């Protein structure tokens, strides 16, 4: 008996020794960047919600202590590398883009992406290249965009009228986010289905299903950290709800596919036509690539516009400068798309808005597709890499008074700038640091294909809304709450409400 016990104890000790040796070798091989000490099971989760801080803010503070590239454990599983400086981010996104081109996505997102077969969710390769090229050459080419101009301007006119009507019914008070969202759904609908698209019921339902998708994606992050939740029947309700959302999306878009196939003169410049022309694309791939265009466009542009309006209410002088610049181009009614490029201050306001409130402050997570290096440190294949745009946008070595809303930092020659750089230090090197630090739409191969359209839409909307109305607080002296809420994107925790007065 004693002999058997000795053999058993010895075997266990050898096993433990071998496991420890393998684990030590693995950690040595990984040579992880520094980071805060983790706890069993939860990793660093206890440090990412101190005092109710949002994760991008908590990570930015941890980076001040642990460096521009640090290791964070979301739960007890695989470590992630969090990047908080433009030099490292540029290596991930541009100079070594091929090494970090894969995605690590919430499991929940597979329901609304045809099992990750969309432009934003698929890995780089022939399939991704086909989608990207098709979107750029058909939907986002200059001819298609120019064909939208008059319709976009009509959308703006209709939105202004809806604000006037809402204000008349509510003692001058409006809640701009819903009209902003639905105007964007209308715009993307024309890109997807053709210039004749107009369906108010579709617009309302698409707006609703986007909202549900964003909410479920936020829930999905928790499930990814604690994977066992998937297998507990009483806790898997979000999956059932995600499946219902999937069915709603299919029911919304499938009639447009059927109509396009049956019509004698379909639109050849819309995204749907391109997707249908690909023989190897199944219906799911077509439906959810169309949906993705709505998902990634509607909330980003509408929330960026709402944030801009909130900042303009906070600073009446900046709002007045916007109005005066718009008036200088000589229009009393609608600012046209052609005129937006002339509005330097308006475009600076948009840039400053997306600097201070990046729609996706942690960007879309990347993943190493092979063993690589990052700033000389070994990175194992499969390691998730997160780029904290928020930390980069608030880097005091790049931005003067980073917590202050100051559009002038983007205007060359303004006295708040050093040699027109907009940040501390001045000179061409610093201007380059600004450009590499301000990447709210990503950079490199996976930069957002619709970036220019999105920025144009926000600038056009801000210019027209300030030209048409004076914006102020609902209650005098109580400025809009700028507290953030992060689910899939960065939103205002309290949706913006404002008092408007027609200017003419």
Number of Cα atoms under 13 Å in the Cβ half of residue 398: 21
Question: 196 is in which domain, residue-wise?
Answer: 31-502
The answer to whether position 16 is within a domain reads no
DSSP class of 105: -
In a domain, 23, yes or no: no
* pLDDT confidence of residue 49: 82
Total tally of structural domains belonging to the chain: 1
Q: Which residues, including other chains, have CB under 8 Å from residue 498's CB and lie 6 or more apart?
A: 173, 174, 176, 309, 313, 471, 472, 473, 474, 480
State the Cα angle at 458 between 385 and 349, rounded to 5°: 85
202 lies in a domain? yes
pLDDT score recorded for residue 10: 39
| Mean pLDDT, the chain cut into blocks of 10 residues (504 residues total) | 40 39 47 92 90 92 97 90 97 95 87 94 95 93 88 95 97 97 96 93 96 83 72 76 95 97 89 96 98 96 98 98 93 87 97 97 94 95 96 96 96 59 54 87 92 95 97 96 91 97 92
Residue 274 CA: distances (Å) to CA of 92, 216, 267, 354, 453: 31, 29, 10, 31, 19
Find, among 379, 402, 401, the residue nearest to 389 by Cα: 402
| Strand order across the beta sheet in which 79-83 lies | 69-73, 79-83, 384-387, 366-367, 102-103
CA-based Rg of the chain, rounded to a whole angstrom?
25
Which residue reads 């396009």 in tokens? Answer: 260
The DSSP secondary-structure symbol of 335 reads P
Q: 3-class DSSP state for residue 101?
A: coil
Q: Is the separation of the CB atoms in 212 and 243 below 8 Å? A: no
Are 218 and 109 contacting, i.e. CB atoms less than 8 angstroms apart?
A: no
3-state class percentages of the chain: helix first, strand second, coil last, to nearest 5? 60, 10, 35
Q: At what angle do helices 451-468 and 283-314 cross, to 10 degrees?
A: 40
Which pTM does this prediction carry? 0.90
Write out the binding residues for heme: 448
Beta bridge partners of 73: 79
Cβ atoms of residues 119 and 292 within 8 Å: yes
**What DSSP state is assigned to residue 123?**
P
Number of helices and strands (H, E) in the chain?
17, 12
Please give the span between the terminal C-alpha atoms of the chain, in angstroms, as a whole number. Answer: 98
Domain CATH code at residue 437? 1.10.630.10
Q: What is the DSSP track for 2-55?
A: HHHHHHHHHHHHHHHHHHHHHHHHHHHHH-PPP-PPPBTTTBTGGGSSGGG--H
Could you tell me if residue 436 is inside a domain?
yes
Is residue 141 a part of any domain in this protein? yes
Domain annotation covers residue 25: no
Output the six-digit token pair for 230.
């998937």
497: closest CA among 458, 461, 471? 471
**Is position 1 within any domain?**
no
In a domain, 111, yes or no: yes
The Cα 243–Cα 417 span in angstroms is: 51
Residue count of the chain, please give it.
504
Summarize the annotated binding site as residue ranges.
448
> What is the H or E stretch that residue 166 is in?
helix 149-169
d(CA 434, CA 94): 16
Give the three-class secondary structure for 221. Answer: helix
């Amino acid at each position: 008996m004693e002999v058997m016990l000795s053999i058993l104890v010895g075997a266990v000790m050898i096993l433990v020794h071998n496991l420890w040796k393998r684990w030590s070798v693995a950690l040595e091989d990984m040579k992880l960047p520094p980071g805060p000490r983790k706890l069993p099971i939860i990793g660093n989760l206890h440090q990412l919600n101190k005092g109710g801080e949002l994760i991008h803010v908590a990570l930015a503070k941890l980076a001040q202590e642990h460096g521009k590239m640090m290791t964070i454990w979301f739960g007890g599983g695989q470590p992630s590398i969090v990047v908080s400086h433009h030099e490292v981010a540029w290596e991930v996104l541009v100079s070594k883009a091929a090494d970090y081109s894969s995605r690590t996505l919430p499991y929940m997102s597979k329901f609304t992406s045809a099992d990750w077969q969309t432009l934003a969710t698929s890995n780089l390769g022939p399939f991704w290249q086909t989608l990207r090229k098709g979107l750029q050459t058909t939907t986002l080419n200059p001819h298609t965009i120019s064909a939208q101009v008059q319709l976009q301007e009509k959308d703006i006119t209709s939105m202004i009228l809806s604000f006037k009507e809402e204000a008349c019914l509510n003692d001058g008070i409006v809640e701009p986010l819903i009209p902003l969202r639905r105007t964007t759904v209308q715009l993307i609908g024309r890109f997807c289905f053709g210039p004749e698209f107009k369906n108010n019921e579709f617009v309302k339902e698409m707006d609703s299903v986007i909202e549900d998708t964003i909410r479920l994606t936020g829930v999905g992050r928790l499930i990814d950290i604690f994977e066992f939740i998937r297998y507990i029947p009483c806790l898997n309700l979000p999956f059932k709800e995600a499946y219902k959302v999937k069915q709603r999306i299919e029911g919304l878009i499938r009639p447009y596919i059927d109509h396009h196939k049956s019509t004698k003169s379909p639109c050849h410049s819309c995204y749907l036509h391109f997707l249908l022309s690909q023989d190897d694309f199944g219906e799911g791939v077509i439906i959810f690539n169309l949906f993705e265009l709505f998902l990634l466009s509607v909330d980003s542009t509408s929330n960026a516009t709402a944030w801009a309006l909130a900042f303009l209410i906070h600073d009446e002088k900046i709002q007045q400068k916007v109005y005066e610049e718009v008036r200088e181009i000589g229009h009393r009614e609608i600012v046209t798309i052609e005129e937006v490029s002339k509005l330097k201050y308006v475009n600076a306001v948009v840039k400053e808005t997306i600097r201070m409130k990046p729609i996706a402050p942690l960007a879309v997570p990347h993943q190493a597709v092979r063993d690589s290096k990052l700033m000389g440190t070994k990175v194992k294949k499969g390691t998730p890499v997160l780029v904290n745009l928020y930390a980069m946008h608030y880097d005091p070595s790049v931005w003067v008074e980073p917590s202050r809303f100051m559009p002038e930092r983007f205007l060359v020659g303004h006295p708040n700038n050093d040699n027109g750089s907009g940040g501390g230090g001045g000179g061409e090197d610093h201007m380059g640091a600004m450009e590499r630090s301000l990447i709210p739409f990503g950079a490199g191969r996976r930069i957002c294909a619709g970036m220019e359209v999105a920025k144009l839409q926000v600038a056009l909307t801000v210019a027209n809304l300030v030209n048409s109305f004076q914006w102020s607080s609902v209650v005098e002296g109580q400025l809009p709450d700028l507290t953030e809420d992060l689910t899939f994107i960065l939103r205002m925790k309290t949706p913006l409400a404002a008092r408007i007065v027609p200017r003419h």
